Homo-oligomer: A and B are copies of this chain.
Amino acid sequence: MNSVMRKRPTIHDVARLADVSIKTVSRVINAEPNVQQDTRNRVLVAVEKLGYSPNVAARGLSGQRSYAIGLVYQDPQEFSYIKQVLGGALAACEQAGYSLLLRPITEPENRLLDTIRDFVRQSSLEGIVLPVPLADSRDVQMLLEDLNVPIAQISPRDLNPNFIQVFADDEAASHSITSLVLEQGHTRVGFIKGIDSHGATGLRLAGFERACREHGITIDGELIVSGHFDFESGRLAARHLFDQAEPPSAIIASNDDMAAGVLFEARERNIRVPEDVSVVGFDDTPLAQRIWPPLTTVRQPIHQMVRSAVDRLIKTVGGVSIDDGPTRFSCDVVVRQSTQGR
C-alpha cells in the first residue's frame, strides 16, 4: 500500500501527460464524439496511469449539476440492524449539512480494501462509519489511517481511546437478562454464543457467567454452544442442547435470529415454549414479536449510538477535537411470553 499522501491528479495532469488540452480530456471522460481514436487512447492511458477520476464537486459546480439522486421513502416499523444504523447516521449528517453515501459490501469480497479505497477517493469522503463486523478489520483500519480518513466504529471488538467508538453495554444487558431467568428458578440454562470475532460475543457470555456465579449456579460447559448469529446455527445449537441427557430448562441465545431457530427446532420436536423450555433472544428485532411465542429479548439503542458516533465524527473532520473516547450505551430488557418460571 502506498503510504505517500500524493495529491489527487486533476484533469490538467492527465492533459499534460497525454499532451492534449484539458478540453480533449473532458471529451474522452464524458464519452463525447469528435476525438480521434489514437488521441482518445493516449488520454485513456494517461487516465489509467495516474488513476484519475473526475472531481465530483468541480464537475457539479461547473456543469450546474449534482450527479446526485434522491431516494425518499417511508420508513415502516420494520426493524433491522442496518436500517437503525442508517437512521442514526442520516440524522447526524442531515443536521450537520453532510450527505451520507452508502457502500454495501455483499460478496465475500476479496477486493474489500480496493473497494473501500475507491469509495473514499471517488467521493472524497471526509469520514467513514464502520459497523461490525467491518469495524474489526485491522486491514480496513490501516487503510483508512493511511488515507487519513477518520473512522467511527460501531460496536467494535477492541477498545481504542484514539478512535471514535460506541458500544452497547452487552455485559450488563446479558447479566440482567440471565438474572431474570435464574430468578425464575431455572438452574440448567443453555447459552448460545455468537461469532467469536464479534466483541459482543465475549461480553454477552461474560454477563451470563457473572449472573450464574452470583446466583450460585455452576456452569456446565456442555450447556455453552457456539452459533453464528443466524437462524440455521440457532437450530443446530438447539438440536445439540435438546439432545443432551439432561437438557436445559432455559436457553439464552445471543441474538433473536438464533432464538428463532431454537423456537423452530423446539416446534419440530413438540417441545413447548415456555412450558418445557424458556427461550431468550437479543436485539429486539421485528421478528421477536412475530414468532410464537413472542421473545423475551434485549433492546440496544442502535439509532442513538450511531447518531452519537457520527456527530463526533463530523466534529472531528470539522477540526473540533473531541476526546470523549469510547462511549457505552445501556440496553433494556424486554419481557415477553417466551420465558416463564419453573
Residue of B nearest to A132 (CB): B74
Residue of B nearest to A263 (CB): B292
Per-position 1/0 for A56-97, Cβ under 8 A of B: 111011000111111111111110111101110110010001
Are the CB atoms of B134 and A101 closer together than 8 Å?
no
* Cβ contact of A310, chosen from B69, B97, B124, B230, cutoff 8 A: B69
State A97–B97 Cα separation when bound (angstroms): 22
Are the CB atoms of B60 and A104 closer together than 8 Å?
no
Q: Is A120 an interface residue, CB under 8 A from the partner?
A: yes
Between-chain CB contacts (< 8 Å), 8 pairs: A69-B89, A70-B101, A70-B128, A71-B85, A71-B86, A73-B82, A90-B104, A264-B290
8 closest Cβ contacts across the A-B interface?
A57-B60, A66-B124, A57-B61, A70-B125, A75-B104, A71-B129, A260-B290, A57-B57
Residues of B within 8 A of A133 (CB): 74
Are the CB atoms of A68 and B290 closer together than 8 Å?
no
Main secondary structure of the interface of A (DSSP, over half): mixed
- Other than the given A67-B126, A69-B125, A71-B86, 12 more pairs (CB < 8 A) read A58-B61, A68-B101, A68-B126, A70-B125, A72-B103, A72-B119, A72-B130, A72-B134, A73-B131, A82-B83, A86-B104, A264-B292
Per-position 1/0 for A31-70, Cβ under 8 A of B: 0000000000000000000000001111011000111111
Are the CB atoms of A123 and B73 closer together than 8 Å?
no
Copies in the complex: 2
* Cβ contact of A123, chosen from B66, B83, B89, B120, cutoff 8 A: B66
Residue of B nearest to A119 (CB): B70
Residues of B within 8 A of A21 (CB): none
Residues of B within 8 A of A286 (CB): 287
Q: Is A313 an interface residue, CB under 8 A from the partner?
A: yes
- Contact A75/B69 with A260-B290, A292-B264 known, Cβ cut-off 8 Å: no
Residues of A107-139 at the interface with B, using a CB-CB cut-off of 8 Å, are: 116, 119-120, 123-131, 133-134
* Cβ contact of A67, chosen from B97, B102, B289, B292, cutoff 8 A: B97
Interface size on A, residues (CB 8 A): 70
Residue of B nearest to A74 (CB): B105
Are the CB atoms of B257 and A290 closer together than 8 Å?
yes
Q: Is A329 an interface residue, CB under 8 A from the partner?
A: no
Q: Is A106 an interface residue, CB under 8 A from the partner?
A: yes
Q: Tell me the minimal C-beta distance from A309 to chain B in angstroms.
A: 11
Q: Is A12 an interface residue, CB under 8 A from the partner?
A: no
Q: Is A100 an interface residue, CB under 8 A from the partner?
A: yes
State A123–B98 Cα separation when bound (angstroms): 10
Q: Is A314 an interface residue, CB under 8 A from the partner?
A: yes
Are the CB atoms of B100 and A69 closer together than 8 Å?
yes
* Cβ contact of A100, chosen from B87, B98, B102, B106, cutoff 8 A: B102
State A169–B31 Cα separation when bound (angstroms): 36
Q: Is A215 an interface residue, CB under 8 A from the partner?
A: no
Are the CB atoms of B263 and A69 closer together than 8 Å?
no
